[in-house]
Each structure stands twice: as structure tokens, then as C-alpha cells.
Amino acid sequence: MSDTYQHVKWFRDSSPYINAHRGKTFVVYLSGDAIADENFTNIVGDIVLLNSLGVRLVLVYGAKPQIDSHLEIQNMTSVITNGIRITTPEILPSIQQVLGKVRSDLEAALSRGVVNAPEHSSDITVTSGNYIKAKPLGIIEGRDFHNTGTVRKVNTDSICKQLDNGAIVLVAPIGYSPSGEVFNISSAEVAGEVATAIHADKFILFIRESGVVDADGKVINELQVNDIDPQSLQPYEPLACARKSCIKGVERSHLISYSNDGALLEELFTRDGAGTQISRFSYEQIRTATADDVAGIIELIQPLEADGIMVKRSRELIESEIVQFTVIARDGMIVSCAALYPFGKQGELACLATHPDYRDNNRGELLLTHVEKTAKELTLDSIFVLTTQTAHWFTERGFVEADVSGLPGSRQSLYNYQRNSKLFIKSLA
């Protein structure tokens, strides 16, 4: 009875995550070590379960131990330097052979579906193809890497079409040049580049450990990209690839153990997870401003007021209008702000500012998008802005210049003719 209750409780607790993950795209990296592990059968079962729950899946696989074993049997040797195999023309056919067998084995394992499920006979489509365009790694520190390559381009259209058709997509660490050359590529690199190219919602990497550990050997539940020192990492190790993918746009990466049964489900469907989550933006939050943010907003806009770019606002005015403000906070520091004032069916975008040190990551654009969303929730038809020096920024984002007579009546009476600000309007239809 107790076991049944725990099962029901877990299922209830996981239901929000089931709804949140449905229709999302996950890239899963399976190293050759993960495939060789005795727990791999359970991993396959969990992957099939995700597919049945409506998750769009791309699986990128490696085969390092399998290739090493095959080359040893063939009395062939290969050199690995800085984690990268030098792929000579002599060993390339063997690598292709091994990767082909691993792909076939994966297709067979995935095709078994969920064992003992009521719909066990339901077909699962698994596809693969020439999704990766590659270029040679070249000569590094005097070493010629021959047919070892790096990702040049990911065929995102082909991958996404297969995902739209409900297939699980398999991607091998092999790439092709326009001239027909074949290149062996780091599987971790391929996984990260695919996750970035298709704008994956999650990038999941199976590793030997349970996650990133601290000095005491305890798994760190969450890291932000700015917490990770890239200088301490090898180019293609999983943590480096996870960090890079987050910097390039993937919202969440996850490092979990391939030997821990159920780690994938625990990571995705429980609050605390089973490994280490690497996030892109949790150290920065877009939120409604509070009274505690007044000082930070004043510090942010004072230089712009001094230069005549913004109208001066007193502390008392900002305090009284603080609920109109939205801010981006980074570790407690206000790095960007904007205000929205409704006037009938129109809204005024005002006080849009970003700290000079943080103007290189589109924070102004993020705030504008957030303000537009808020305006739509307030059923406003358009937003307008009055500016003297930043007209080009707004016109590039869909604002159209208009005569000041187009201002709402209550706002027109407050218009400062001495500043001679120009009016720009953006429709929200």
C-alpha cells in the first residue's frame, strides 16, 4: 500500500513536468561508454518513454571504446591527443564500420519500444542521415589530423522535418564535405552544435559521474555559465560542450550519470533532479520592479538624464510609479530597465536604459519584447515612445514616426515642446 501511494504521489508530482516537456525538443548525447554500460537498456527504455510523452528527440552517439576495441582486433593503432583522435585514411574505414554497427544496434534497441506496455506493438520511427557538413581540423601544433574534422554546418531543415513527423533522429559523429570527403568528428562537439543549431529546449549529456561535483565530492545541482571557468576545461569534454551550447542559446543543459538507473527521468520530472543543470539566464531575471529597485534604477538612468537623453525623474516620482517599471537584475544589480504607462488603448514605453557594461547581449530588445507582451495582456493596441537621440534604434524594431498630434489627449497635454521629442508608434496587432 505504501509503495502504491509513493508511486501515485510521484506521478502526481511529475505531471506539471510532463505537460511542460510535451512538444519540446531535446538533444541527448550518448557517449560510447554510455552505450557500453550495463544500464544502457534502461536508458533506452526511458528515451522511448520520453518519445511516448510527446518529447521531440535527437540522439547523438559516440563510439570511442567500440572503435578502440575494433582497431585493437585489427592490429591497428590510432593516436589521441587532447581528447581528439587523429583519423588517418587507413583507420577511417574501420571507424565508419563501427559507427554503422552502433547506429544499427541503436535503431534495433529503440524499435523494441516500451517493454510490457499496453501499446508495446506501436511502431517507433528512427531516422538517420547526412545531417552534418564538416571541414578538416587541419594541422595543429605540427600534427596533421587528416580525416578528423569539425562541424561546418548542421542540416537543421532535414532534422526538424523528421522531428515534425514524430521520428527519433539519430546523428552520427561523421560529417561530409561538399567535395565528398568523410570526416570523423568529436561526438560531443556534434551534439553541442546540433543542440544549438536546432534551438533545442534541453541538451542532455550522459557522463560517467553523477554530475559536476564540488570540493567535497557532492553533486552541484545547478550551475550558471558564468560560474564555469572555460580555461579549466578540455575543448570537447561534456561540461565544456554544455557551457558552450548555453552561451549560444540553449536554455538548459544537463549532465547526468549513464550508470544511475532512472537518472534521466529523475532529472526531468523531479524538482531537485539527479545531476547538474547548467542554465543560461537564471543569474539574470526579467521581473516587475519593486521599491528595493528604486536606487538601482536611479543609478542607471542618471547619466542619461545628465546627457539630456532622458527626462529627469525625481526619486519620489520613480517610487510612486515603480509598479510601471520592469527591470533586468543580475546578481542583485539592476542592469536594464523600462517603464510602460497606459493611456487608453495606447501605452507609452519610457525610461528604457541599459548599463554601458551590459549592452552587448540584446537586453534592450529583451525588455522591449517583455513590455510588448505586457501591453498585449493589457489589451493595448499600440505602444509609443518619445525620443530625441535614439530614433534609429526604435525604427529598426518596427516603430513608425508619427506627428505628435497622434499622442493620446491626456499625454499630449504633458508634451514638452522645448525638448522637441519625436514620436514613434508600433502597432501590436
Cβ proximity of 163 and 187 under 8 Å: no
Q: Phi, psi (5° rounding) for residue 420?
A: 55, 40
| CATH number of the CATH domain containing 212 | 3.40.1160.10
84 and 204 inside one domain: yes
Indicate the number of domains in the chain.
Answer: 2
Last residue of a domain, one of 217, 250, 279: 279
224 and 175 inside one domain: yes
352 and 260 inside one domain: no
* CA 426 centroid distance within chain: 29
270 and 296 inside one domain: no
265 and 297 inside one domain: no
Strand partners, 154: 132
Separation in Å, CA 226 to CA 212, 243, 244: 15, 9, 11
76 and 210 inside one domain: yes
Last residue of a domain, one of 279, 310, 337: 279
179 and 227 inside one domain: yes
Hey, what amino acid is at 116? Answer: N
From first to last of its 429 residues, what are the pLDDT tens digits of the chain?
A: 467 777 777 777 777 788 888 999 999 999 999 999 999 999 999 999 999 999 999 999 999 999 999 999 999 989 998 888 999 999 999 999 999 999 999 999 998 865 555 555 467 899 999 999 999 999 988 899 999 999 999 999 999 999 999 999 999 999 999 888 999 999 999 999 999 999 999 999 999 998 888 888 888 888 888 788 888 888 788 999 999 998 888 988 999 999 999 999 999 988 678 899 988 765 568 899 999 999 999 999 999 888 888 888 999 999 999 999 999 987 578 989 999 999 999 999 999 999 887 776 678 888 999 999 999 999 999 999 999 888 899 998 999 999 988 898 888 888 888 888 899 999 997
Rounded Cα distance, 72 and 38, in Å: 22
Separation in Å, CA 183 to CA 147, 148, 173, 177, 188: 5, 5, 9, 8, 15
* Count of H-run helices and E-run strands, the chain: 14, 23
pLDDT at 17: 81
Q: 3-state SS of 133-186?
A: EEEECCEECCEECECEEEEEEECHHHHHHHHHCCCEEEECCEEECCCCCEEECC
Cβ proximity of 137 and 150 under 8 Å: yes
Grid cell of 263 as nine digits: 537518472
| Helical pair 40-52 and 92-111, crossing angle rounded to 10 deg | 60
- Which residue range(s) make up the domain with 77? 2-279
Burial per residue of 107-136, b for 16 or more beta-carbon CB atoms within 10 angstroms, e otherwise:
eebbeebbeeeeeeeeebebbbeebbbbbb
60 and 136 inside one domain: yes
Rounded Cα distance, 154 and 55, in Å: 21
Rounded Cα distance, 49 and 26, in Å: 13
pLDDT at 121: 47
165 and 272 inside one domain: yes
Rounded Cα distance, 205 and 41, in Å: 17
148 and 225 inside one domain: yes
Last residue of a domain, one of 237, 255, 279: 279
| CATH number of the CATH domain containing 369 | 3.40.630.30
Separation in Å, CA 76 to CA 6, 32, 94, 183, 346: 53, 19, 9, 19, 73
161 and 288 inside one domain: no
* 321 HSE (CA, 13 A, CB side): 17
Non-local (6+) Cβ contacts of 188 within 8 A are: 29, 31, 62, 205, 236, 237, 238, 241
328 and 258 inside one domain: no
Strand partners, 271: none
